[in-house]
Amino acid sequence: MSRVLLLNGSPHPHGCTAAALDEMIRVFGEEGIATELIQVGSKNIRGCIACGKCGGTGKCVFDDLVNETAPKLEAADGLVVGSPVYYASPNGSLISFLDRLFYSTHFSKQMKVGAAVVSCRRGGNTASFDVLNKYFTISGMPVASSTYWNQVHGFTAEDVKKDLEGLQTMRNLARSMSFMIRAFADAKAKYGYPVPERDFFTSFHDGK
């Protein structure tokens, strides 16, 4: 069975972001896609210290939720990252988590379907949306889209449940992801995945 991993970057496990992700989880169930939700935003996650240890071990030197999540991401066919908006940016704990998760894991993320979901009261949503999508687009992960930018509005979970277009966007996003996951699995069996080149690394170092 195909699997989607969902990360809740909000410190509130039943808040606005959770309301959006719950709507997706319901549709994934209808589509026959297994899901697992990991609560990130309430955890004490420190940032990357650029020690380089993961280059030799394949895991982060700080043995916390990042290393616990890594094998689950490797086994997943899709990843949904949800976050509230803080000063036109995602939750800082979530950013620290994603920096370390993506940098310390050496397995291929190619063709795992990615989707960012943001929750805001009013503004800063598209800036936060852009930040989260960068993790996918540097990793060879196709980005799923919906019928509007993947966002919901509200100050409370009850507000979000009144955002009917936002919830509709979440449902359509889950359906798009489900289709993409199945389509990529079929294409892999028929054609194989494209082989990326890894020959060049631009540093502009002249050796002197």
Percent of the chain with pLDDT over 70: 99
Q: How do strand 113-120 and strand 3-8 relate by DSSP bridges?
A: unpaired
Predicted confidence (pLDDT) per residue in 22-74, tens digit: 999 999 999 999 999 999 999 999 999 999 999 999 999 999 999 999 999 99
Which domains are present in the chain?
Answer: 3-191 (3.40.50.360)
Give the rounded distance of the alpha carbon of 116 from its chain centre: 6
Is residue 148 within 8 Å of 10, Cβ to Cβ?
no
Predicted confidence (pLDDT) per residue in 103-114, tens digit: 999 999 999 999
Q: How do strand 78-86 and strand 89-90 relate by DSSP bridges?
A: antiparallel
